[in-house]
């Protein structure tokens, strides 16, 4: 009885408040209903209502990642397949893949060594996905934990110095975005950025610089006004301290579906992708001079490739399909970029020869 006495007044108060919000005419009721539905959609995606199975990602907040000297690699055949590459043993092992049939993932390693997967396109429906999945690096298992605010394909994401994930650009099924958002892995809460990129970008890259800013490179712009343009040479710099964008320097060539890695010395290495000129050309961004310079040529043509910084400071580059459909050169082969010698060499320890339906691959170290 005591419990009932406490709850009855609370219900009456909620009902009274709802009636006040609805007003006395049908137009107000319809408007209120639309607002309630929109609020519920946003609250669901932020992980604040009961039917979202959001789990808190616990870590101590240290920015230095706890490295296990391993790399998670995702590719797509008839399902999303996952592999672990062990840097110490140089062995490649297949593990059970992600729970949903998706590709064009965006991967971010968080400070506790786990990896967040921001979904791209659901291959069964053909639509963009808002799901966020967690890869538990200790148990090597995947689980869905939250949702982004916007559903995005071909977006780019990066871990900021604050240990919050910054997500920018991408597209829906058709049009591109210039909007951005944040995801806090400690609370599983997404929030919008007030800043917008100067161009809507898809299949671009984003990398953290030593001073905490983010450089966003290339991609392609698709919107209702332009429909389609060539690969972009332009770059933008995002400053988290002011939540704002500024123009960056031009790359040496326009690129889309390329790969980008921040080196140990803070420079940014860019390779592969569909370019305007030379598919095998690479370039390096120097944050001190705010300029791009040509790097060594890759051994193979690549697009939709991945590049990751290994614990020895070298960069692993790989993909599953050459950039030109009529070329078999380098199918499934890997290579290593050495920043110390500024050279690229073949790496035979990772060779993919399976029936992979998509050239797009994603990877992240842990």
Higher model confidence: residue 356 or residue 210? 210
* Look-up of token digits 């161009």: 199
pLDDT at 171: 83
Question: Does position 109 have pLDDT exceeding 70, yes or no?
Answer: yes
Q: How far apart are the first and last CA of the chain?
A: 55
Instruction: Write the Ramachandran bin of 353: left for phi over 0, alpha for psi from -120 to 50, otherwise beta.
Output: alpha
Which range of 61-75, 167-181, 282-296, 319-333 scores highest in mean pLDDT? It is 282-296
Nearest to 202 by CA among 163, 181, 244, 173: 173
CB of 268 closer than 8 Å to CB of 252? no
- Exposed, middle or buried, 99 (CB in 10 Å: 0-12/13-18/19+)? middle
Q: What is the pLDDT of residue 105?
A: 77
Interatomic CA distance for residues 316 and 141, integer angstroms: 24
CA distance 358 to 106: 15
Q: Which of 17-21, 284-288, 351-355 has the highest mean pLDDT?
A: 284-288
| pLDDT at position 330 over 70 | no
- Cβ contacts of residue 331 below 8 Å, gap of 6+? 320, 321, 322, 353
- Of 71, 133, 80, 72, residue with least CA distance to 360: 80
Dist. CA 364–CA 73, nearest whole Å: 7
Q: CATH says 46-365 is which class?
A: mainly beta
Sequence-distant (6+) residues with CB within 8 A of 326 are none
Check pLDDT > 50 for residue 187.
yes
Q: Give me the DSSP letters along 218-244.
A: --B---TTTS--PPP--EEEEETTTTE
Give pLDDT, residue 80.
Answer: 74
pLDDT tens digit string along 60-103? 544 455 578 999 988 875 567 888 999 999 998 989 877 665 66
User: Could you give the CA distance from residue 149 to residue 151 in angstroms, rounded to a whole number?
Assistant: 7
User: Which of these ranges, 80-89, 206-215, 236-245, has the smallest mean pLDDT?
Assistant: 80-89
Between strands 362-365 and 70-76, the pairing is antiparallel
Task: Considering only residues 106 and 264, tell me which one the structure prediction assigns the higher pLDDT.
Answer: 264
Q: Are 164 and 193 in contact (CB under 8 A)?
A: no
Joined tokens for residue 87: 């840097």
Q: How confident is the model at residue 273, as a pLDDT?
A: 87
Residue given tokens 């090597």 in the structure block: 140
**Could you read off the pLDDT of 3-57 as tens digits, one per residue?**
233 333 444 433 333 333 344 444 444 444 444 444 444 444 444 433 344 555 5
> Which residue in 114, 175, 188, 105 sits closest to 149, CA to CA?
188
């Amino acid at each position: 009885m005591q419990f009932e006495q406490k709850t009855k007044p609370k219900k009456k108060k909620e009902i009274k408040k709802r009636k006040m919000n609805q007003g006395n005419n049908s137009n107000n009721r319809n408007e209120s209903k639309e607002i309630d539905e929109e609020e519920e959609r946003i609250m669901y995606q932020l992980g604040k209502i009961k039917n979202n199975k959001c789990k808190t990602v616990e870590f101590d907040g240290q920015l230095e990642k706890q490295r296990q000297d391993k790399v998670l690699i995702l590719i797509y055949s008839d399902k999303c397949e996952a592999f672990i590459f062990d840097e110490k043993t140089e062995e490649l092992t297949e593990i059970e893949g992600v729970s949903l049939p998706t590709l064009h993932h965006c991967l971010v390693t968080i400070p506790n060594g786990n990896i967040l997967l921001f979904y791209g396109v659901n291959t069964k429906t053909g639509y963009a996905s808002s799901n966020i999945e967690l890869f538990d690096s200790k148990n090597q298992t995947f689980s869905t934990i939250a949702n982004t605010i916007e559903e995005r394909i071909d977006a780019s994401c990066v871990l900021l110095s604050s240990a919050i994930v910054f997500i920018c650009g991408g597209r829906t099924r058709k049009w591109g975005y210039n909007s951005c958002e944040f995801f806090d892995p400690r609370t599983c809460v997404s929030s919008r950025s007030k800043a917008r990129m100067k161009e809507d970008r898809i299949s671009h890259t984003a990398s953290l610089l030593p001073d905490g800013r983010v450089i966003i490179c290339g991609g392609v712009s698709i919107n209702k006004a332009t429909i389609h343009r060539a690969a972009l040479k332009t770059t933008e710099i995002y400053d988290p301290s002011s939540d704002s964008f500024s123009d960056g320097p031009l790359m040496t060539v326009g690129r889309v579906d390329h790969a980008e890695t921040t080196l140990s010395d803070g420079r940014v290495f860019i390779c592969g992708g569909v370019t305007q000129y030379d598919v095998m050309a690479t370039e390096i961004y120097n944050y001190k001079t705010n300029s791009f310079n040509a790097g060594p040529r890759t051994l193979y043509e690549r697009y939709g490739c991945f590049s990751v910084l290994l614990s020895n400071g070298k960069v692993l580059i790989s993909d599953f399909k050459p950039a030109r459909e009529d070329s078999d050169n380098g199918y499934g082969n890997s290579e290593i970029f050495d920043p110390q010698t500024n050279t690229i060499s073949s790496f035979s320890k990772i060779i993919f020869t399976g029936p992979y339906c998509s050239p797009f691959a994603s990877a992240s170290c842990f």
